[in-house]
Structure 1
Amino acid sequence: MAPTHTCVVNQLRQLVYYHLDNNLLKNALFFAERLEAIDRRSSESAHLLSLCHLRLGDNASAYEYSKTAGSRGSQLGCTYVFAQACLALHRYKDGITALEKAKALWGAKNNFGKHTANSRQLLPDAAAASCLLGKLYYGYDDKLKATRCFEESLKLNPFMWDAFTGLCDMGVPMRVENIFKMNPEMEAIIKQGYPDQLESQSSKDSVASISTMPDQERTRPSTRPASVVSDTPDPFNNVSTRGFAGGIFGTLGISQKLNESNPSLTNLPAAGGGGIGPEAMETPTGPSAILDVTQNRRDPGVLAYSNEAPPAPTRKTRTLQGLGMDFSVDAPKMSRGITSKRSQKLPMPRAIPYEEHVDESAAAQAVRSNSVSHTTGDRKRTVSGQVVPRQSSEDPGAPQRRSVRLFNQIRPTSTKSSSNGPTIGLPAGRELKKTRQPISKIMRPSSSASTVGRQVSGNRKPVEEPMDVDQKETSSRSWYGTVTSIQPPKSSEPDSVKQEVALKFLLDLFRTFGSGYFALSKFACADALQLYNQLPKQQQDTAWVMAQMGRAYYEQAAYAEAEKYFKKIRQLAPTRFEDMEIYSTILWHLKRETDLAFLAHELIDSSWQSPQAWCALGNSWSLARDHEQALRSFRRATQLDSKFAYAFTLQGHEHVANEEYDKALVAYRAGMTADKRHYNAWYGLGRVYEKLGNYDKAFFHFENASRINPTNAVLICCIGTVLEKQKDARQALLYFTKATDLAPRSTLTRFKKARTLMALGLLDHALSELTVLKDMAPDEAMVHFLLGRLYKSMRERGLAVHHFTIALNLDPKASQQIKEAIESIEEDDEDYENSMTA
């Protein structure tokens, strides 16, 4: 018999999903190619093939295979893969067009809370698609539309971290507290319940139901063929609508009970396709083993059952004595065929006696109700309520029913009866329709265990002999035991409350993360450090948080403090490459040549494909004053990542050191193209123009860099220097004062401020600044030289000579200039004396 095309396609899809879930990407690609060859017309086959290429990092192949359906926006999976490939290949316009065309497919989707260990959503929802669209617009240099897309993504899902960091990196002003908060969709999902909660409760119910089965019933192999597959094209999406995320969680146990009570139901296909073993129908499994017993009927002889459980019978509270019972069963032969009498209405089962103070749980009612209804439903009964056995099957070659095999396995050997209990029966000639003994009002709950609700599989057995109410029950699988072994289901309200509390805790936590990241994106380093210090200790000890705090100290030029955090990162995550270029620059500023060389070799040995490693190596060569080797390393970093702006900037710094200003301009402009908010590149261009004497352009680039990073004292000081060279001392003094306020420990800004004050004739203010500066840098020759000049202007000859002498001792190379300053003091004194005598 030739296999059907649909079954072969579904089996191949199942194999692709299996290998994707197990991260066997080459295997998944192999089977995806086989699937695409068999089912070329299906866009889903193209989606799976392009998805495998994308996850393997082959973006060009992913682009080509998804282009047909993805560029038209006709299939959401292909469109999403196509857009991701376009983003990687910098074909932003193609990706934008495809996602906009497919907006009708993803615009109303919301998959929040639907991803668990056993249920996934392979296709994106509106939040994910909007985030990707924002990245494409940002790459296309459309900042306005990128901002709108990121904002829309965060409105739908506040945990879309990429969208938030994208807004921060673009410098968009935000109110972080309004982003990380509950929205109506999240509240509705919490009240409805997460799929994993429903799945857990359903699995517990299934385990409890199966635990009440006899050992023979639990371990008996199923007759379901393993090759049967479902027609459902996507098992992952099917799970959310018909599986654990849907509305059949409460009926999962019913499906299993139906399956156990009627062996012919085991021929039904599973929801997840083929490849499920025989035990999948009798043990709690993942969503791929869930049955939908109302669809995909293949066998006309199987009666269609409803997923809804019949109402439980009215409970009666009765007083029971401490009695036991023992009974024997001689099971009559039961027919396999389904007669017309099975369509009759199910009579209400009789109430089960209970102890006066024992309450029947809801789980017990469900098990008893399902067991009675699915096993004796649509069967003819006698006046006393006994089930009439089915007639013999007309097909002598038909396989024996499951219930008959079960009875043959557990047929008891004892048939003794007791005359102590009252018996009500039919004439002896009607042996096949013997009624069971009525249940006494003075009977303990375990006495009813043998006949009602004993088996979850639903195999009710008529009683042939009168029951002995004097003897104790010897079977451990009684109805009372079954009821007490099943825990009553917990109310969903406490779970929803707990989930809401947990979700609010996470939102508060991520609000702190987001506030810190947003503050650092604005270069408000002190605020960022304060926020990160508010995080729990276990979060502060993670590599990402320590890297953020290290960057904050680095931006403040507190290199020693920043080094401590990056040292901890190297101990905690030695394989981490992100932010290592910052660490290497910190070591460069601290002149730690040995530590920098060791870091560079460690990173290069770990991965030759890391641009951060090559930046560290370039900084090491730069500190050793080998600028050519440093340039080679920085070029290699930019070859590995053309969007790595910092590598271009470091390359420009090396060209400036070699006085190759034209090449430096090219490198800095490349860094600005890679990242428009990379203020280091703007600063580099300003330095080059300043050295070339083009102060207007230097001022323009320094000012733009300062707008990006308004808290950087060095940038503000550079603006003041350019204004000073343009003979605008008063405007320069404003910038020097601002820089001193931002960085009061910076000796350079305070020195330039004091020099400008002297140029403006504000000698007292200059003296106070230089006094502070002398205490900060007592071994700096220029400070003492400037003090000597100040005292010379104030006619303090002795103090002037004193500081000139200290400067001469600290910097003998400048002896000629210092001696000329001392001689000028004597000349000024002579001129002053001559003017007084004249």
Structure 2
Amino acid sequence: MSPPTAAIAQQLRQLIYYHLDNDMEENALFLAGRLHALDPRNPDGAHLLALCNLRLGRLKAAYDHSKEKGGKGAHLGCAYTFAQACLGLEKNGEGICALDRARGLWAARNHWNKHSEISRRHVPDAAACNRLLGKLYNAQGDTAKAMHHYIHALKANPFMWDAFTDLCDTGAVVRPSNVFKMSTDMISSLSDSGVLNGNDAFLSQQRFVEPKNPFISTPDIDPFNPSTRTGGDVGLNLGGSNLLSRLNGKVPVSNANGTGSHHLDVETPTSNGQIMHEDDVMIGDVGRPAVNEHEPPQAPGRKARVQAFTPSEEPPRMRSITSRSRLKTGSESTDATDIPRPVGQNGHKRTVSGHSMPPSEKVVDPTAAPPRRSVRLLNSISSQIRPSSSRLAAATSRDTETRERRELRKKATGTKGRATSTTSASTVGRVVSGNRKATVEIAEPAHKQDSRQQNGSMAAPPPRMGSVNIDNTREREALQWLLDLMLKLGTGYSHLSHFRCLQALEAFDSIPVQQRETPWVLAQIGKAYYERSMYTQAEEIFQRIQKLAPARMEDMEVYSNVLWQLKKDTELSYLAHVLVEQDRLSPQAWCAIGNAFSLQREHDQAIKCFTRATQLNPKFAYAFTLQGHEHVANEEFDKAMFSYRCAVNADHRHYNGWYGLGQVYEKLGKFDVAEQHYRAAAQINPTNALLAVKIGSVLDRMKKTQPALVQYIHAVSLDPRSNLARFRKAQSHLKLHNPTEALKELKILKDLAPDDANVHFLLGRTYKRLRDRTNAIRHFTIALNLDPKASQYIKENMESLEEDEEFSSDEDR
């Protein structure tokens, strides 16, 4: 007889997730094919088959297998996998429609604290789906909707880092302090887990851990038919061992039959029926749950209502209260009841531990009827043969008495039943006498205790209340520390995405040293130095990155451009060689090779290398920009314009592409169009002094000297170390007949660039305008020595020192 199909499918699903979790995608794909063939109409099989293909990078196969159920939004797993495949295949609209149709299956889910090394969720929650929708809308070009979904993803899960970085990259103004903070779900989860009231959580835990004595009356807790069950019935706040799971303390709850839940961190409402949590099932066609088969091996099930009794005894049975038992005396009533009644019913006092104490003297009820003769005879006999009160005698007689009592109860009638009750009373008296130590020692044989411990039925001693409080407090402090770290990293990245490099460097400097000395953080610091044109400092940072992570390829195109700016031919060639050896199919390696050829003025070879980089990654905007620069060097302006437009299409916030387009239009003499592109670049990067200088230069070409001067002044304020900005500012002052202001700028510039012939030549003209003939001849002579090629032009200015000529625009150039 073949096993049922459901059992086979369950085992296959477990095997598939086992191989996926251990990075054996090929094995998982093979087993997923068996599962899908077993029941082709089951959406779970289609989901796993598509998921395995997606993990292997086979996007078209994942798209095909998940389209039927995922495209309609009927199955959450299929819809999510289908949308991921659509993102890779650039079918963004279809992925958006699939997730929107499945919105009812994921909108109310939040799994931010449900993953650990012993539990997982294989279907996405609202944060994951919003993040994927944001990426789909961003790839489609709808920035507003992308920002909307990124914000919702971060509200649900502030640790979703790529949603934050993508939000910053869209140009949105983000306040990291409003992102990386305790969310409402976190606070409520912390409160529910007992972090805010550790003692109460421990007491509720202890109430279910400590074994119950069957002979102690507890009127508010009925061990046979409990009226309520709390979440600590099974699992005892075990949860996952990761930080967020331990903070929340969600535990599995057993079913009514005593069998443990199949899922180790399920919040299951307690009831008499079997109820599964919605997070632990696959969402099917019409929202019905299909069993989640990915789970760790089950722990041995706990036996219901056995914990409170020793293995050699069965639970005592409650006797019905008859009119005859009500008329007995107090002593007979006590002897005849297996479980003593609470205070007020049997008159017994209780010890501190809650055990009932026997009365010091017999209390006779005057209204009770005299005992029968048979009862008196049996009492006298039992008193003669009653074993001594020593612990050894009690241990010897306990099993015998229990077995006799069990047999006599089955046929207890008349005098024999009462005699049995009287005989068992001797044992009851010793149990409730307050001598708990004796009871624990002789409760069961050693071999039975060992077997119970192996089966996991005996609970471990609970931790102390103080340790629970301390652990929970530490976990909350750890979570807050993580949020603070994310806040500092996010603040630095947000500043850098808006090119506020100085603020970004300050934010990254506030990060702890062990976190700052990591490749990702150092790369951000290096890019900040690069954007500030501090190439020497940027080179040092990237050298540290190579020592920490020699195989790192990300951001190496920036390092190659730093070396190009520093004109370090040997270092750039070595970097290109190293990157090609590590990964010859990475666009960063080909960008480094292209920069090396460009520095050697082999522009055609550089263009081939940059073209190869764009073929490897069509979204690599920086390679398109470098390709355009080489076309400009070859005066191929049409090709350069095409390359720059490709860069802008790949990344609309890539300001270098806008700058390149402005440069082409400026060379073509279209100064007004060039100004528009320069301003578009400056709007993206408002802290770049070169862009302000370029705007001023095209305004100057259009005879707008005063607006040009405003741009130069702005450029100097952005970067006081910019020689070009100060030089252009001095030129504009001379054109506006302000030689004194020009002289101030030139004196500063002379100290910054003492070997620049243009600076000394402009100083000579300034002194000539101020009629300082001696200083004018001096600086003209220095300029002539520094640049002999311009000797004819310099000599013409020296010969005209005695003349009062106006400065023309040609001279200014």
The question of a shared fold, defined as TM-score above 0.5 by the shorter chain, is answered with yes
Structure 1 residue 88 displacement after superposition: 1.1
Report Cα offsets for 1:375-433 as digits up to 9, x if no partner.
xxxxxxxx9xxxxxxxxxxxxxxxxxxxxxxxxxxxxxxxxx98977968799999855
Larger deviation: 620-629 or 718-727? 620-629
Q: 1:557 to 1:55 in 2, by over 3 A?
A: same
| 1:532-571 to 2 correspondences below 5 Å | 532-571=508-547
- Give the TM-score normalised by the residue count of structure 2: 0.73
Matched, 1:737 2:728: no
Choose from 784, 804, 813 the match for 2:760. 784
Matched-pair contact (CA < 8 Å) for 2:14–2:295: no
2:368 alignment counterpart: none
C-alpha RMSD of matched pairs (Å): 4.4
The code of the aligned residue for 2:732 comes to T
The separation in 2 between residues aligned to 1:695 and 1:427, in whole angstroms, is 106
Structure 1 residue 545 displacement after superposition: 0.9
2:647 alignment counterpart: 671
1:354 alignment counterpart: none
Larger deviation: 687-696 or 507-516? 507-516
Structure 1 residue 194 displacement after superposition: 10
Q: 1:805 to 1:287 in 2, by over 3 A?
A: same
1:159 alignment counterpart: 159
Structure 1 residue 446 displacement after superposition: 4.2
| 1:140-289 to 2 correspondences below 5 Å | 140-193=140-193, 247-248=251-252, 287-289=296-298
1:439 alignment counterpart: 430
Choose from 711, 714, 734 the match for 1:758. 734
Choose from 487, 490, 495 the match for 1:514. 490
Report Cα offsets for 1:682-734 as digits up to 9, x if no partner.
00000010011010110000000000000000000000000011111100000
Q: 1:813 to 1:452 in 2, by over 3 A?
A: same
Structure 1 residue 800 displacement after superposition: 1.2
1:112 alignment counterpart: 112
The separation in 2 between residues aligned to 1:53 and 1:714, in whole angstroms, is 48
Structure 1 residue 288 displacement after superposition: 3.0
| 1:242-391 to 2 correspondences below 5 Å | 247-248=251-252, 287-290=296-299, 305=304, 348=339
Report Cα offsets for 1:523-543 as digits up to 9, x if no partner.
111111111111111111111
The separation in 2 between residues aligned to 1:576 and 1:73, in whole angstroms, is 39
Matched, 1:809 2:788: no
Q: Residue 289 of structure 1 aligns to a residue in which SS?
A: coil
Matched-pair contact (CA < 8 Å) for 1:679–1:709: yes
Report Cα offsets for 1:236-282 as digits up to 9, x if no partner.
99xx99xx97543699998689xxxxxxxxxx9x9999xxxxxxxxx
2:384 alignment counterpart: none
Matched, 1:647 2:623: yes
Matched-pair contact (CA < 8 Å) for 2:659–2:678: yes
Report Cα offsets for 1:424-477 as digits up to 9, x if no partner.
87999998559685638999654323443777978999xxxxxxxxxxxxxx99
1:725 alignment counterpart: 701
The separation in 2 between residues aligned to 1:344 and 1:456, in whole angstroms, is 36
Choose from 419, 443, 458 the match for 1:452. 443
Choose from 594, 599, 604 the match for 2:570. 594
The separation in 2 between residues aligned to 1:343 and 1:162, in whole angstroms, is 67
Matched-pair contact (CA < 8 Å) for 2:258–2:301: no
Matched, 1:579 2:583: no
Matched-pair contact (CA < 8 Å) for 1:114–1:194: no
1:54 alignment counterpart: 54
The separation in 1 between residues aligned to 2:297 and 2:461, in whole angstroms, is 28
Q: Residue 741 of structure 2 aligns to a residue in which SS?
A: helix
- Give the TM-score normalised by the residue count of structure 1: 0.71
Q: Residue 745 of structure 1 aligns to a residue in which SS?
A: coil
1:531 alignment counterpart: 507
Q: Unpaired runs of 5+ in structure 1?
A: 211-235, 258-267, 274-284, 294-303, 314-328, 352-357, 362-382, 384-416, 462-475, 830-838
The code of the aligned residue for 1:452 comes to A
Aligned residues: 661
Structure 1 residue 186 displacement after superposition: 0.9
Q: Unpaired runs of 5+ in structure 2?
A: 212-238, 262-273, 282-293, 322-336, 343-350, 355-374, 376-386, 406-422, 806-813
Q: 1:114 to 1:443 in 2, by over 3 A?
A: closer
Q: 1:514 to 1:421 in 2, by over 3 A?
A: closer
Larger deviation: 445-454 or 707-716? 445-454
Choose from 603, 624, 628 the match for 1:627. 603
Q: 1:426 to 1:128 in 2, by over 3 A?
A: closer
The code of the aligned residue for 2:673 comes to K
Q: 1:539 to 1:826 in 2, by over 3 A?
A: same
Matched, 1:747 2:723: yes
The separation in 2 between residues aligned to 1:705 and 1:565, in whole angstroms, is 27
Matched-pair contact (CA < 8 Å) for 2:253–2:260: no
Matched-pair contact (CA < 8 Å) for 1:209–1:456: no
Matched-pair contact (CA < 8 Å) for 2:594–2:606: yes
Matched, 1:122 2:122: yes
| 1:4-23 to 2 correspondences below 5 Å | 4-23=4-23
The separation in 2 between residues aligned to 1:429 and 1:445, in whole angstroms, is 19
Matched, 1:773 2:749: yes
Structure 1 residue 583 displacement after superposition: 0.6
Matched-pair contact (CA < 8 Å) for 1:190–1:496: no
Q: Residue 564 of structure 1 aligns to a residue in which SS?
A: helix
Matched-pair contact (CA < 8 Å) for 2:491–2:504: yes
Report Cα offsets for 1:618-641 as digits up to 9, x if no partner.
111111211112111111111111
Structure 1 residue 504 displacement after superposition: 2.2
Matched-pair contact (CA < 8 Å) for 1:672–1:678: yes
Structure 1 residue 179 displacement after superposition: 1.7
Q: 1:344 to 1:114 in 2, by over 3 A?
A: farther
2:330 alignment counterpart: none
